[in-house]
Amino acid sequence: MKKIYFLALICSLFLASCNSEPSLQKYFVENSENKEFISVDISSDILNIKEAELSKEQSDAIQSFEKMNILAFKLDSTNASQYAIEKTKVSDILKSEKYQKLMSFGSGKQGVSISFVGEEENIEEFVVYAKSNEAGFAVVRILGDKMNPTHIMNMLSVLQKSEMDLKQLKPLQDMLQQK
């Protein structure tokens, strides 16, 4: 009888710990196979960098970066209503307390927002959400360990020096070329 109570306690703790609120991770998983979306996962090896040429700050930024997930919805004449629904879903997810807005810019027709998850000196995830009422939207999750806003700026300078392996970006290039 004690085993049954113990098992019931374990099950109830497990169920209580499950979080049913929407998250970008769940959204990515739910839509990665959807034909309206293009999903690309990019590992840190895309940068193809000679670490000896990097400053200490740039090296720290690279080491904090683990991977990038991109989910894009290409708007066309047949999926405008679906675009509106999906755009609202992403906006609602990003309004959660979990996502802290760093900055945003643009107009009502197009814009970009950058948010993060974690604490300022220990950021787990940067989220870039770009939308255009003419082209569609893309959500980019930059995942890492102990990232901070300075790392993003240093990453941009590293990208200029990198010899990127663009094979990982081929699905996105194909989507952008389709009309």
Query: How high does pLDDT run on average in the chain?
Result: 80
At 12, is the pLDDT very low, low, confident or very high (cuts 50, 70, 90)? Answer: very low
Asked whether residue 128 is domain-assigned, the answer is yes
Asked whether residue 148 is domain-assigned, the answer is yes
Asked whether residue 12 is domain-assigned, the answer is no
What whole-number distance in Å separates Cα of residue 175 and Cα of residue 31? 16
Over the stretch 58-78, which tens digit does the pLDDT of each residue have?
Answer: 888 888 888 889 999 999 999
Strand order in the sheet with 100-106: 37-43, 65-74, 136-147, 122-132, 110-119, 100-106
Q: Tell me: pLDDT of 17 over 80.
A: no
Over the stretch 103-148, which tens digit does the pLDDT of each residue have?
Answer: 899 987 889 999 999 988 889 999 999 999 989 999 999 898 888 8
Asked whether residue 60 is domain-assigned, the answer is yes
Asked whether residue 54 is domain-assigned, the answer is yes
Percentage of residues of the chain with pLDDT beyond 90: 41
Q: Provide the domain limits for residue 134.
A: 20-177
pTM assigned to the model: 0.76
26 φψ region: left (φ > 0), alpha (ψ -120 to 50), beta (else): alpha
Asked whether residue 3 is domain-assigned, the answer is no
CA 31, chain centre distance (Å): 13
The total domain count for the chain is 1
Q: Tell me: pLDDT of 151 over 60.
A: yes
Q: What is the mean pLDDT of residues 8-35?
A: 70
Q: What is the mean pLDDT of residues 8-30?
A: 65
Helix (H), strand (E) at residue 123: strand 122-132
Q: Which of 137, 139, 138 is nearest to 127 (CA)?
A: 139
Asked whether residue 7 is domain-assigned, the answer is no
3-state secondary structure of 124: strand
Asked whether residue 4 is domain-assigned, the answer is no
Query: For residues 56-65, b (16+ Cβ closer than 10 Å) or e, as one string?
Result: eebbbbbbbb
